[in-house]
Amino acid sequence: MTKGKLSDRQKRMLEFIQRFTSGNGYPPSIREIGDAADISSTSVVNYNLNRLVDEGYLTRDQNVSRGLRLTEKLGRAAERLTNVVRIPLVGRIFASEPVPLPGTDSPVFDAEEAIEITRDLLPSDDGLFALQVKGDSMIDAMVNDGDIVVMTRASEWRNGDMVAVWLRDREETTLKHIYREGTRVRLQPANPTMRPIYIDNPENLEVQGKVMLVVRQMN
């Protein structure tokens, strides 16, 4: 075999490994590969698997059944797998109520509802939760009824962040860009035609989360 080129057998093997793995959720055994690629001897399969390792298409774990995985050179299965973040949809967000926060207890698989977001849309990937906006009260934040807002629980914020805040005196939740200006805080609507709110008493301000992403689905 010329270096860098694959024989027909090896191509069939790779193809089968890809198909089998994505179909079954686990890789094929040596004998299963042999059957699929018309190779009667397990040693030959083993031999060619090692060639494929040499060429950088596979990695193998010694003495482990089905202990192979495709490298990035081919299907980026493992990569894509981690490219999706599962975010629990913990509730709805109204203007008239504080943001419902997720319990710290709930592991991922207890969440009844969740949405999946590709990681490249998000800067970080933990402490995330999602809320569905109910009502038209967030239109000054350019957020519609039905939109899904993905937030981090982090209570620290930097100038310009869009945050969900609970205003104690007004008893109101809003989404605004937040800026510290000397002793007071400016809450700036995303809609540039609308006026900011100024908060002089920090007691009235409760930052409940930082908005990372807004998703709007048309039906």
Partner DNA sequence: CTTGACATAGAACGGATGTTCCGTTAGAAT
Partner DNA sequence: ATTCTAACGGAACATCCGTTCTATGTCAAG
**Closest by CA position to 88, among listed 67, 123, 115, 106:** 115
Q: Which does 201 bind (CB under 5 to 8 A by kind): DNA, a second copy, none?
A: none
Residue 50 Cβ vs DNA, minimum distance, rounded to whole Å: 8
* Closest distance to a second copy from the beta carbon of 140 (Å): 10
Binding site for a second copy (CB under 8 A): 11, 14-15, 21-27, 29, 57, 61, 64-70, 73-78, 80-84, 86, 107-109, 115-118, 120-123, 136, 139, 142-144, 161-162, 190-193, 210-219
**Residue 183, binding choice from DNA, a second copy, none, Cβ under 5 to 8 Å by partner class:** none
**Given the residues 29, 106, 137, 210, the one annotated as active site:** 137
Q: Which does 42 bind (CB under 5 to 8 A by kind): a second copy, DNA, none?
A: DNA
Instruction: Please say whether the beta carbons of 36 and 45 come within 8 A.
Output: no
Cα-atom radius of gyration of the chain, to the nearest Å? Answer: 26
Q: Which of 207, 95, 197 is nearest to 158 (CA)?
A: 207
Catalytic residue flag (residue 41):
no
User: Choosing among a second copy, DNA, none, which partner's interface includes residue 7 (Cβ < 5 to 8 Å by kind)?
Assistant: DNA
Q: Tell me whether residue 65 or residue 217 sits nearer to DNA (CB atom).
A: 65
Residue placing its CB nearer to a second copy in the complex, 167 or 190: 190
Tell me whether residue 137 is one of the annotated catalytic residues.
Answer: yes
Location of structure tokens 């933990």:
126
| Local structure of residue 65 (DSSP, 8 states) | T
Nearer to DNA, 38 or 120 (CB): 38
Task: Output the DSSP codes for 10-43.
Answer: HHHHHHHHHHHHHHHSSPPPHHHHHHHTT---HH
Neighbours of 14 (CB within 10 A): 22
Q: Tell me the closest approach of the beta carbon of residue 67 to a second copy, in angstroms.
A: 7
Question: By the 8 A CB rule, do 113 and 100 touch?
Answer: no
